[in-house]
Amino acid sequence: MTPQHCRAARAWLDWSQGDLSQRANIGLSTIRQFENGLRTPITNNLLAMRRAFEEAGIVLNDDPAGIAFVGNPGAKDQNGSGDAP
């Protein structure tokens, strides 16, 4: 996951950096520094962020073309209903 992927996933979910920090159980400064390109988190923290996104219905597909958001049937759509594509 790149800093751009992290910001895009948070934006899609309308999460603040604090929201991700709480959901991934990692330090807010870790997320801030990662997204600003100042730090590469340890593997466990990257996995925790990815897991938090996946639990919210965002699957990060790292490929050369960028990032793919894959709907999760249990996820909420942007309107808050359970009818995600």
Instruction: Please say whether the beta carbons of 45 and 6 come within 8 A.
Output: no
pTM metric for this prediction: 0.75
Provide the pLDDT for residue 27.
98
pLDDT at 61: 74
Domain assignment of residue 43, given as a range = 1-85
Question: Tens place of pLDDT for every residue, the chain, 85 residues?
Answer: 889 989 989 999 999 999 999 999 999 999 999 999 999 999 999 999 999 999 998 888 766 555 666 665 445 544 444 444 4
Look up the CATH number of the domain holding residue 57.
Answer: 1.10.260.40
User: How many domains does one find in the chain?
Assistant: 1
Region of 70 on the Ramachandran plot (φ > 0 left; ψ -120 to 50 alpha; else beta): beta
Please work out, in degrees rounded to the nearest 5, the angle formed at the alpha carbon of residue 35 by the alpha carbons of 15 and 26.
Answer: 65
CA distance 73 to 29: 32
Phi, psi of 8 (to 5 degrees): -65, -45
Question: How far is it, in rounded angstroms, from Cα 12 to Cα 21?
Answer: 16
